[in-house]
Protein backbone atom coordinates (compact mmCIF):
# COMPACT_ATOMS: atom_id res chain seq x y z
CA UNK A 1 0.00 0.00 0.00
CA UNK A 2 2.81 2.44 0.90
CA UNK A 3 4.55 1.80 -2.43
CA UNK A 4 1.31 2.42 -4.34
CA UNK A 5 0.73 5.70 -2.49
CA UNK A 6 4.29 6.87 -3.20
CA UNK A 7 3.83 5.97 -6.88
CA UNK A 8 0.51 7.81 -6.97
CA UNK A 9 2.03 10.89 -5.34
CA UNK A 10 4.82 10.89 -7.90
CA UNK A 11 2.19 10.74 -10.64
CA UNK A 12 0.32 13.69 -9.14
CA UNK A 13 3.54 15.73 -8.92
CA UNK A 14 4.14 15.09 -12.59
CA UNK A 15 0.54 15.86 -13.43
CA UNK A 16 0.65 19.14 -11.53
CA UNK A 17 4.09 20.37 -12.49
CA UNK A 18 5.32 18.96 -15.81
CA UNK A 19 4.75 21.27 -18.77
CA UNK A 20 1.35 22.31 -17.45
CA UNK A 21 2.32 25.95 -17.34
CA UNK A 22 3.40 26.01 -20.96
CA UNK A 23 -0.01 27.18 -22.06
CA UNK A 24 -0.58 30.92 -21.98
CA UNK A 25 -4.34 30.60 -22.44
CA UNK A 26 -6.07 33.28 -20.37
CA UNK A 27 -8.87 30.84 -19.64
CA UNK A 28 -6.58 28.78 -17.43
CA UNK A 29 -6.85 29.07 -13.65
CA UNK A 30 -3.38 28.56 -12.20
CA UNK A 31 -3.27 27.86 -8.47
CA UNK A 32 -0.17 27.31 -6.39
CA UNK A 33 0.07 24.83 -3.51
CA UNK A 34 2.58 25.35 -0.71
CA UNK A 35 2.85 22.21 1.39
CA UNK A 36 5.57 20.63 3.57
CA UNK A 37 6.68 17.69 1.42
CA UNK A 38 9.83 17.40 3.54
CA UNK A 39 10.68 17.75 7.22
CA UNK A 40 8.60 16.97 10.30
CA UNK A 41 5.26 17.56 8.56
CA UNK A 42 5.94 15.63 5.39
CA UNK A 43 2.88 13.39 5.87
CA UNK A 44 0.66 16.46 6.19
CA UNK A 45 2.07 17.85 2.95
CA UNK A 46 1.32 14.66 1.07
CA UNK A 47 -2.19 14.59 2.53
CA UNK A 48 -2.77 18.18 1.37
CA UNK A 49 -1.67 17.23 -2.13
CA UNK A 50 -4.10 14.32 -2.27
CA UNK A 51 -6.90 16.49 -0.89
CA UNK A 52 -6.33 19.00 -3.68
CA UNK A 53 -6.52 16.15 -6.19
CA UNK A 54 -9.92 15.15 -4.77
CA UNK A 55 -11.15 18.72 -5.22
CA UNK A 56 -9.89 18.76 -8.81
CA UNK A 57 -11.72 15.52 -9.54
CA UNK A 58 -14.99 16.95 -8.21
CA UNK A 59 -14.67 20.30 -10.01
CA UNK A 60 -13.83 18.42 -13.21
CA UNK A 61 -12.53 21.39 -15.16
CA UNK A 62 -9.43 20.89 -17.31
CA UNK A 63 -8.72 24.62 -17.21
CA UNK A 64 -7.46 24.40 -13.62
CA UNK A 65 -3.71 24.00 -13.26
CA UNK A 66 -2.08 23.27 -9.91
CA UNK A 67 1.58 24.14 -9.36
CA UNK A 68 2.80 22.53 -6.14
CA UNK A 69 6.10 23.12 -4.35
CA UNK A 70 7.71 22.00 -1.11
CA UNK A 71 7.53 24.77 1.50
CA UNK A 72 9.45 22.69 4.05
CA UNK A 73 8.71 22.51 7.77
CA UNK A 74 9.48 25.88 9.36
CA UNK A 75 12.16 26.56 6.74
CA UNK A 76 12.10 30.18 5.53
CA UNK A 77 14.68 29.60 2.80
CA UNK A 78 12.76 26.68 1.31
CA UNK A 79 9.46 28.58 1.67
CA UNK A 80 10.71 31.61 -0.26
CA UNK A 81 12.26 29.43 -2.94
CA UNK A 82 8.97 27.58 -3.36
CA UNK A 83 6.94 30.81 -3.60
CA UNK A 84 9.27 32.27 -6.21
CA UNK A 85 9.16 29.11 -8.33
CA UNK A 86 5.34 29.09 -8.21
CA UNK A 87 5.12 32.79 -9.13
CA UNK A 88 7.58 32.28 -12.01
CA UNK A 89 5.10 29.77 -13.43
CA UNK A 90 2.53 32.54 -13.83
CA UNK A 91 0.56 31.85 -10.62
CA UNK A 92 -1.11 34.74 -8.79
CA UNK A 93 -2.99 32.83 -6.09
CA UNK A 94 -1.54 30.21 -3.75
CA UNK A 95 -3.07 27.76 -1.27
CA UNK A 96 -0.87 27.81 1.82
CA UNK A 97 1.18 28.04 3.85
CA UNK A 98 -0.24 26.03 6.76
CA UNK A 99 1.56 27.72 9.67
CA UNK A 100 0.97 31.34 10.68
CA UNK A 101 4.68 31.59 11.57
CA UNK A 102 5.36 31.98 7.85
CA UNK A 103 3.18 35.07 7.41
CA UNK A 104 6.04 37.53 7.82
CA UNK A 105 7.54 36.21 4.61
CA UNK A 106 4.33 36.56 2.59
CA UNK A 107 4.41 40.35 2.71
CA UNK A 108 7.29 40.27 0.24
CA UNK A 109 4.91 39.12 -2.47
CA UNK A 110 2.26 41.84 -2.60
CA UNK A 111 0.99 40.86 -6.05
CA UNK A 112 0.25 37.31 -4.94
CA UNK A 113 -2.82 36.17 -2.96
CA UNK A 114 -2.32 33.50 -0.30
CA UNK A 115 -5.23 31.37 0.94
CA UNK A 116 -3.78 30.15 4.23
CA UNK A 117 -5.14 27.19 6.21
CA UNK A 118 -4.16 28.81 9.51
CA UNK A 119 -6.86 29.45 12.12
CA UNK A 120 -4.91 32.00 14.14
CA UNK A 121 -6.22 35.24 12.66
CA UNK A 122 -9.50 35.48 10.69
CA UNK A 123 -8.82 39.02 9.48
CA UNK A 124 -7.99 39.47 5.82
CA UNK A 125 -4.80 41.50 5.79
CA UNK A 126 -2.94 42.75 2.74
CA UNK A 127 -2.53 39.63 0.58
CA UNK A 128 -3.45 36.83 3.02
CA UNK A 129 -6.83 35.17 3.67
CA UNK A 130 -6.99 32.64 6.51
CA UNK A 131 -9.77 30.07 6.17
CA UNK A 132 -8.90 27.93 9.20
CA UNK A 133 -11.58 27.41 11.87
CA UNK A 134 -10.84 30.47 13.99
CA UNK A 135 -11.23 30.70 17.75
CA UNK A 136 -13.53 33.70 17.23
CA UNK A 137 -15.96 31.68 15.14
CA UNK A 138 -15.95 28.89 17.71
CA UNK A 139 -16.49 31.25 20.64
CA UNK A 140 -19.32 32.97 18.79
CA UNK A 141 -21.08 29.61 18.27
CA UNK A 142 -20.62 28.71 21.94
CA UNK A 143 -21.99 32.10 22.99
CA UNK A 144 -25.18 31.42 21.08
CA UNK A 145 -25.41 27.98 22.71
CA UNK A 146 -25.12 29.45 26.22
CA UNK A 147 -27.77 32.03 25.43
CA UNK A 148 -30.18 29.36 24.17
CA UNK A 149 -29.53 27.23 27.24
CA UNK A 150 -30.01 30.30 29.49
CA UNK A 151 -26.61 29.96 31.13
CA UNK A 152 -25.60 33.12 32.98
CA UNK A 153 -22.47 32.22 35.00
CA UNK A 154 -19.71 31.00 32.73
CA UNK A 155 -16.24 29.85 33.73
CA UNK A 156 -13.60 30.00 30.99
CA UNK A 157 -10.64 27.66 31.43
CA UNK A 158 -7.40 27.67 29.46
CA UNK A 159 -3.80 26.61 30.19
CA UNK A 160 -0.80 28.71 31.07
CA UNK A 161 1.35 28.36 27.97
CA UNK A 162 2.69 30.27 24.96
CA UNK A 163 -0.85 30.78 23.62
CA UNK A 164 -2.43 32.37 26.70
CA UNK A 165 -1.94 35.96 25.49
CA UNK A 166 -3.48 35.01 22.16
CA UNK A 167 -6.50 33.51 23.98
CA UNK A 168 -6.82 36.57 26.23
CA UNK A 169 -6.91 38.79 23.16
CA UNK A 170 -9.67 36.72 21.56
CA UNK A 171 -11.76 36.67 24.75
CA UNK A 172 -12.16 40.44 24.47
CA UNK A 173 -14.55 39.85 21.58
CA UNK A 174 -16.93 37.90 23.82
CA UNK A 175 -20.37 39.41 24.36
CA UNK A 176 -21.11 37.35 27.47
CA UNK A 177 -21.99 39.64 30.35
CA UNK A 178 -21.00 37.45 33.26
CA UNK A 179 -17.97 35.21 32.99
CA UNK A 180 -14.83 34.45 34.94
CA UNK A 181 -11.45 33.28 33.70
CA UNK A 182 -9.15 30.70 35.26
CA UNK A 183 -5.73 29.81 33.84
CA UNK A 184 -4.55 26.38 34.88
CA UNK A 185 -1.27 24.50 34.91
CA UNK A 186 -1.14 22.01 32.04
CA UNK A 187 0.82 19.54 34.18
CA UNK A 188 -1.81 16.92 35.15
CA UNK A 189 -0.07 16.43 38.51
CA UNK A 190 -0.84 20.04 39.39
CA UNK A 191 -4.03 20.49 37.39
CA UNK A 192 -6.31 18.29 39.50
CA UNK A 193 -5.34 20.13 42.68
CA UNK A 194 -6.14 23.46 41.03
CA UNK A 195 -9.55 22.23 39.88
CA UNK A 196 -10.24 20.89 43.38
CA UNK A 197 -9.76 24.38 44.82
CA UNK A 198 -11.67 26.01 41.98
CA UNK A 199 -14.71 23.77 42.50
CA UNK A 200 -14.45 23.76 46.32
CA UNK A 201 -14.27 19.99 46.13
CA UNK A 202 -13.15 19.35 49.73
CA UNK A 203 -15.85 21.62 51.15
CA UNK A 204 -18.54 19.95 49.05
CA UNK A 205 -17.39 16.52 50.26
CA UNK A 206 -17.61 17.72 53.86
CA UNK A 207 -21.08 19.16 53.16
CA UNK A 208 -22.22 15.72 52.03
CA UNK A 209 -20.83 13.86 55.03
CA UNK A 210 -22.24 16.44 57.43
CA UNK A 211 -25.71 16.19 55.92
CA UNK A 212 -25.63 12.39 55.86
CA UNK A 213 -24.64 12.28 59.55
CA UNK A 214 -27.59 14.51 60.43
CA UNK A 215 -30.04 12.38 58.48
CA UNK A 216 -28.74 9.12 59.99
CA UNK A 217 -29.96 10.31 63.39
CA UNK A 218 -33.51 10.82 62.12
CA UNK A 219 -36.21 8.17 61.74
CA UNK A 220 -38.86 9.90 59.60
CA UNK A 221 -39.48 8.68 56.06
CA UNK A 222 -38.51 11.92 54.32
CA UNK A 223 -35.09 11.87 56.01
CA UNK A 224 -34.58 8.23 55.04
CA UNK A 225 -35.49 9.00 51.42
CA UNK A 226 -33.11 11.95 51.33
CA UNK A 227 -30.32 9.86 52.88
CA UNK A 228 -30.83 7.17 50.26
CA UNK A 229 -30.39 9.77 47.54
CA UNK A 230 -27.29 11.27 49.18
CA UNK A 231 -25.67 7.82 49.36
CA UNK A 232 -25.42 7.93 45.56
CA UNK A 233 -23.60 11.30 45.56
CA UNK A 234 -19.94 12.22 45.99
CA UNK A 235 -20.36 15.86 46.96
CA UNK A 236 -23.08 18.27 48.03
CA UNK A 237 -23.36 21.96 47.35
CA UNK A 238 -23.71 24.34 44.44
CA UNK A 239 -20.93 25.60 42.20
CA UNK A 240 -20.16 29.22 41.35
CA UNK A 241 -20.83 28.60 37.66
CA UNK A 242 -23.44 26.96 35.44
CA UNK A 243 -21.30 26.56 32.32
CA UNK A 244 -17.68 26.03 31.31
CA UNK A 245 -15.76 26.90 28.16
CA UNK A 246 -12.56 24.84 27.99
CA UNK A 247 -10.07 26.28 25.52
CA UNK A 248 -7.66 23.40 25.05
CA UNK A 249 -7.21 20.29 22.91
CA UNK A 250 -5.59 16.87 22.72
CA UNK A 251 -4.23 15.18 25.83
CA UNK A 252 -4.30 18.43 27.80
CA UNK A 253 -8.03 18.74 27.25
CA UNK A 254 -8.56 15.14 28.30
CA UNK A 255 -6.62 15.80 31.53
CA UNK A 256 -8.85 18.80 32.23
CA UNK A 257 -12.05 16.86 31.56
CA UNK A 258 -10.83 14.04 33.82
CA UNK A 259 -10.21 16.57 36.60
CA UNK A 260 -13.74 17.95 36.22
CA UNK A 261 -15.16 14.43 36.50
CA UNK A 262 -12.97 13.68 39.53
CA UNK A 263 -14.13 16.83 41.34
CA UNK A 264 -17.75 15.86 40.68
CA UNK A 265 -18.71 18.65 38.29
CA UNK A 266 -22.09 17.38 37.09
CA UNK A 267 -22.22 17.71 33.30
CA UNK A 268 -25.99 17.32 33.38
CA UNK A 269 -26.40 20.61 35.24
CA UNK A 270 -23.19 22.38 34.22
CA UNK A 271 -22.90 22.82 30.46
CA UNK A 272 -19.33 22.04 29.39
CA UNK A 273 -18.17 23.25 25.97
CA UNK A 274 -14.79 23.09 24.29
CA UNK A 275 -13.09 24.09 21.04
CA UNK A 276 -10.78 22.59 18.39
CA UNK A 277 -12.64 19.31 18.07
CA UNK A 278 -12.67 17.20 14.90
CA UNK A 279 -14.94 14.39 16.12
CA UNK A 280 -12.16 12.60 17.97
CA UNK A 281 -13.75 9.39 19.28
CA UNK A 282 -11.13 9.05 22.03
CA UNK A 283 -13.19 11.69 23.82
CA UNK A 284 -15.57 8.86 24.75
CA UNK A 285 -13.19 7.48 27.39
CA UNK A 286 -14.89 6.34 30.60
CA UNK A 287 -13.32 8.91 32.90
CA UNK A 288 -14.16 11.90 30.72
CA UNK A 289 -17.17 14.23 30.59
CA UNK A 290 -20.09 12.44 28.94
CA UNK A 291 -22.09 15.48 27.83
CA UNK A 292 -19.59 17.66 26.00
CA UNK A 293 -20.57 20.41 23.56
CA UNK A 294 -18.35 21.81 20.83
CA UNK A 295 -18.62 23.81 17.58
CA UNK A 296 -17.21 22.12 14.50
CA UNK A 297 -17.44 21.58 10.76
CA UNK A 298 -20.44 19.84 9.24
CA UNK A 299 -20.18 16.22 10.41
CA UNK A 300 -21.97 14.75 7.37
CA UNK A 301 -19.66 16.51 4.93
CA UNK A 302 -16.65 15.69 7.10
CA UNK A 303 -17.47 11.97 7.07
CA UNK A 304 -18.26 12.06 3.36
CA UNK A 305 -14.91 13.70 2.66
CA UNK A 306 -13.01 11.21 4.84
CA UNK A 307 -14.74 8.24 3.21
CA UNK A 308 -14.11 9.55 -0.29
CA UNK A 309 -10.46 10.20 0.55
CA UNK A 310 -10.00 6.71 2.01
CA UNK A 311 -11.78 4.98 -0.86
CA UNK A 312 -9.64 6.85 -3.38
CA UNK A 313 -6.22 6.62 -1.76
CA UNK A 314 -6.52 3.81 0.81
CA UNK A 315 -5.32 5.97 3.71
CA UNK A 316 -6.98 8.36 6.16
CA UNK A 317 -6.55 12.11 5.62
CA UNK A 318 -5.14 14.59 8.07
CA UNK A 319 -8.05 16.59 9.52
CA UNK A 320 -6.83 19.97 8.29
CA UNK A 321 -6.71 18.83 4.66
CA UNK A 322 -10.45 19.38 4.27
CA UNK A 323 -9.58 23.09 4.39
CA UNK A 324 -7.36 22.73 1.32
CA UNK A 325 -10.24 20.99 -0.42
CA UNK A 326 -12.51 23.94 0.34
CA UNK A 327 -9.79 26.46 -0.53
CA UNK A 328 -9.61 25.23 -4.12
CA UNK A 329 -13.40 25.23 -4.34
CA UNK A 330 -13.49 28.83 -3.07
CA UNK A 331 -10.87 29.97 -5.57
CA UNK A 332 -12.71 28.28 -8.43
CA UNK A 333 -16.02 29.88 -7.36
CA UNK A 334 -14.52 33.39 -7.28
CA UNK A 335 -12.74 32.80 -10.58
CA UNK A 336 -15.96 31.71 -12.30
CA UNK A 337 -18.06 34.44 -10.68
CA UNK A 338 -15.72 37.30 -11.66
CA UNK A 339 -14.40 35.75 -14.87
CA UNK A 340 -10.94 35.84 -13.33
CA UNK A 341 -9.15 36.91 -10.14
CA UNK A 342 -7.36 40.26 -10.19
CA UNK A 343 -6.75 41.05 -6.51
CA UNK A 344 -7.78 40.14 -2.99
CA UNK A 345 -10.83 42.41 -3.14
CA UNK A 346 -12.46 39.91 -5.48
CA UNK A 347 -13.02 37.77 -2.37
CA UNK A 348 -15.02 40.48 -0.55
CA UNK A 349 -18.40 39.08 -1.55
CA UNK A 350 -21.75 39.50 0.20
CA UNK A 351 -23.17 36.02 -0.18
CA UNK A 352 -22.34 33.06 2.03
CA UNK A 353 -20.15 30.28 0.67
CA UNK A 354 -21.01 26.65 1.37
CA UNK A 355 -18.09 24.28 1.54
CA UNK A 356 -17.19 20.95 3.08
CA UNK A 357 -16.38 22.61 6.40
CA UNK A 358 -19.75 24.36 6.47
CA UNK A 359 -20.85 27.89 5.65
CA UNK A 360 -18.45 30.82 5.74
CA UNK A 361 -18.56 34.44 4.66
CA UNK A 362 -16.38 37.51 4.21
CA UNK A 363 -17.46 40.56 6.20
CA UNK A 364 -15.49 43.67 7.09
CA UNK A 365 -12.32 42.09 5.77
CA UNK A 366 -12.78 39.11 8.04
CA UNK A 367 -13.48 35.42 7.44
CA UNK A 368 -16.30 34.06 9.57
CA UNK A 369 -17.45 30.44 9.75
CA UNK A 370 -20.98 29.52 10.73
CA UNK A 371 -20.32 26.41 12.77
CA UNK A 372 -22.78 23.86 14.07
CA UNK A 373 -22.82 22.73 17.68
CA UNK A 374 -22.36 19.04 18.41
CA UNK A 375 -22.74 17.06 21.61
CA UNK A 376 -21.23 13.78 22.79
CA UNK A 377 -24.07 11.51 23.83
CA UNK A 378 -24.04 7.72 24.22
CA UNK A 379 -20.61 7.43 22.57
CA UNK A 380 -21.93 9.25 19.52
CA UNK A 381 -21.73 12.76 18.13
CA UNK A 382 -25.14 14.36 17.97
CA UNK A 383 -25.98 17.68 16.35
CA UNK A 384 -27.42 20.16 18.84
pLDDT tens-place string over residues 22-46 = 344 557 899 999 999 988 889 999 9
* Domain, as residue range, for 320: 2-133+299-369
Is 245 found in the same domain as 307? no
Is 94 found in the same domain as 54? yes
pLDDT of residue 241: 95
Is 207 found in the same domain as 104? no
Is 338 found in the same domain as 234? no
Cα angle for residues 314, 45, 327 (degrees, 5° grid):
95
Residue 369 has pLDDT above 60, yes or no: yes
Is 31 found in the same domain as 152? no
Residue 122 has pLDDT above 80, yes or no: no
pLDDT of residue 17: 47
pLDDT in tens, 206-231: 999 999 999 999 989 999 899 999 99
Is 306 found in the same domain as 272? no
Residue 93 has pLDDT above 70, yes or no: yes
pLDDT of residue 141: 93
Please state, for a pLDDT cut of 90, what percent of the chain lies above it: 60
Is 241 found in the same domain as 164? yes
pLDDT in tens, 345-358: 888 888 888 887 77
Q: In this structure, is the dihedral angle defined by the CA atoms of residues 372, 164, 123 and 36, taken in order, positive or negative?
A: negative
| Domains identified in the chain, total number | 2
Residues 6+ apart with CB under 8 A from 177: 152
Q: What is the CATH number of the domain that holds 167?
A: 3.40.50.2300
Is 162 found in the same domain as 111? no
- In 3D space, the residue among 253, 321, 323, 325 whose CA is nearest the CA of residue 282 turns out to be 253
* Least confident range of 85-94, 117-126, 131-140, 330-339: 117-126
Is 288 found in the same domain as 306? no
Q: Residue 6: pLDDT band by 50, 70, 90 thresholds?
A: very low
What strands lie across the sheet with 359-362, from one edge to the other? 353-354, 359-362, 367-370
φ, ψ at 89 (rounded to 5°): -90, 15
Is 201 found in the same domain as 89? no
Number of helices followed by number of strands (H, E) in the chain: 12, 15
Please state, for a pLDDT cut of 70, what percent of the chain lies above it: 93
Q: Residue 118: pLDDT band by 50, 70, 90 thresholds?
A: confident
* Least confident range of 68-72, 87-91, 118-122, 233-237: 118-122
C-alpha distances out from residue 1 to 179, 202, 234, 308, 351, Å: 51, 55, 52, 17, 43
Strand 179-184 and strand 154-159: pairing?
parallel
Is 378 found in the same domain as 354? no
pLDDT of residue 26: 59
pLDDT of residue 372: 92
Residue 175 has pLDDT above 60, yes or no: yes
Is 278 found in the same domain as 139? yes
**What is the residue-averaged pLDDT of the chain?**
87
The stretch 169-174 carries a mean pLDDT of 86
Residue 185 has pLDDT above 70, yes or no: yes
pLDDT in tens, 7-22: 444 445 444 543 344 3
Amino acid sequence: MIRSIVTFLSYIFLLFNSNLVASENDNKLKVGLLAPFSGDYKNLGESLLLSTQLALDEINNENIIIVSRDSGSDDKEKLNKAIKEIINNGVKIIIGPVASSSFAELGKYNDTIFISLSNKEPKISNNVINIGISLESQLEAIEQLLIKEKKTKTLILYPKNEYEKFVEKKLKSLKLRNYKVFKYNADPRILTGEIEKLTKYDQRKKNLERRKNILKKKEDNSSKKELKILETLYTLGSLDFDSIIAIDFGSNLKSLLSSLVYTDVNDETVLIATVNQWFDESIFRKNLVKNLYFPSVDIKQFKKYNNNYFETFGIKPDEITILAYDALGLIYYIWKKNNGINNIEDFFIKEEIKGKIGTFEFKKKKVSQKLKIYKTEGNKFKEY
